[in-house]
Amino acid sequence: MNEFEVMWRQKIKENTLNIAGKQVHDLVEKNDFNDEVLYSKQLIRDLKNNIIENKIKDIFCASACHMPHEFLENAKKAYQETGEIEAARKELLVVFEQKTKVDKQMTQEQFDTCLDLGMGLAGLPVNKDILVTKIPSRFQEYYLETDPIKKKSLYCHCKRVRHDLLQNSNLDSIYCHCGGGFYQDIWEYITEKKVTIEVVKNLFDGDDVCQFKISFK
């Protein structure tokens, strides 16, 4: 088991204890599948059999990978000074261009297309919410691939389940709240308030992209 997997499982156990309590935590603790996908499927079965769905979503959101907060400081400052989500979102656009565009070796045309589709950190404002779509993880390879299953694997950011997509063995899409937690952490850090995440589209339910709605209370 690699270092990331050990770390992620530890977060899951800690968050299960904090959100669902010791009884459910002890049940999850017994899950001894080495394989990431089998572990995840058993984890979801155990959680669904013992707690309500919203708590499961909270556990996965809390177990997400996070963007280093150092990249969010200008967005946080903009929000503190104006109280406006849009001011912070514009600062996230700058981060997206300076960091992700370079990291993914995007052409200007590719970058502009991502913005039009609401891909990246900032997403698109929709009423009082933000609708954000993940960009393909292995960006350039994704657009060159023609096989639909391999294309999904190249899109997915979660290295734990990429091979599951290659096997075309679907995982319960509630798992994708882990991906949504990435955005939840961004906006909770910026606003210092609780935000909610809704999975709108995901690969496991047959969509071509993973998309999340961020709502501010």
pLDDT for 160 equals: 85
Axis-axis angle for helices 177-191, 53-62 (nearest 10): 70
In order along its 217 residues, the chain shows pLDDT tens digits of 889 999 999 999 999 999 999 999 999 999 999 988 899 999 999 999 999 999 999 999 999 999 999 999 999 999 999 999 999 999 999 999 998 888 889 999 999 999 999 998 999 999 999 999 999 999 999 989 999 888 988 999 998 888 776 676 678 999 999 999 999 999 999 999 999 999 999 998 989 999 999 999 7
The secondary structure element, H or E, covering residue 132 is: strand 129-133
Q: Which amino acid is at 75?
A: A
Q: Where are the domains of the chain?
A: 3-62, 69-216
Task: Quickly tell me which residue has 């606003």 as its tokens.
Answer: 191
Report the distance separating Cα 125 and Cα 214, nearest Å: 10
Radius of gyration of the chain (CA): 18
Residue type, 66: H
User: What pLDDT is stored for residue 37 in this prediction?
Assistant: 87
pLDDT recorded at residue 12:
97
CA-to-CA distance for 148 and 169, rounded, in angstroms?
A: 14
Residue 217: predicted pLDDT: 76
End-to-end CA distance of the chain: 39
Alpha-carbon gap, residue 9 to 149, rounded angstroms: 27
97 alpha carbon, distance to own chain's centre: 19
DSSP code at position 128: T
